[in-house]
Amino acid sequence: MAPVPTQDSPADKDSPYYPHPEISVSALRFDFRGRFLSPRVSRSIPASKGLHHHGEAPEAAGYTIAELARLARSAVPAQRCIAFQTLGRILYRLGRGEWGTTPEHPIAMGVWSAVKEGRVLESLTEASMAEGGHRGSRAYAVEALWLFEKGGWREKLQVR
């Protein structure tokens, strides 16, 4: 693994989450409450908050939806629980219109595209219906699906 780049070094400026005017929606990072973290905020959060990891941009705190989708399929129950809980909160915020109130809004559709690409709903559904296994993982998967329904994104897609 490469070391974390120093601030404003060439490696830092090549980071997918270096602050600049245009960042891919798939690179957006979220905290454990499902809140969007801007690049400046993400890069200022200390490692002691638990949001740093060895993903695409190790210098940036938070998780992308793709990283959470991978954690949702982890063999480690605690990683699945955190991923399910965070994804549920993101899905709720998506449905409530935090990143756009209609499916035509580019950020909302970008988040939804990342959810579809990561097969998040399929992972949550599978985990929620699993027989046996880790009960906490199952409970968080059920909660995430409930948050998705409660947020109302599915209805916004159907009206479209």
- Condensed to tens digits (0 to 9), the pLDDT of residues 80-111 reads 999 999 999 999 999 999 999 887 899 999 99
Task: State the Cα torsion 101-106-154-118 to the nearest 10°.
Answer: -140
Is residue 33 in a domain? Answer: no
Is residue 83 in a domain? Answer: yes
Is residue 94 in a domain? Answer: yes
- Strands (E) in 19-102, as ranges, are 29-30, 36-37
Is residue 130 in a domain? Answer: yes
CA distance 119 to 123: 6
Residue with tokens 């905290």: 31
Q: What is the pLDDT of residue 135?
A: 94
Is residue 71 in a domain? Answer: yes
| Number of structural domains in the chain | 1
Neighbours of 112 (CB within 10 A): 23
Domain carrying residue 134: 65-159
Neighbours of 88 (CB within 10 A): 24
Is residue 88 in a domain? Answer: yes
pLDDT under 50 in the chain at which residues? 1-2, 17
Is residue 21 in a domain? Answer: no
Is residue 53 in a domain? Answer: no
What is the model's pTM?
0.81
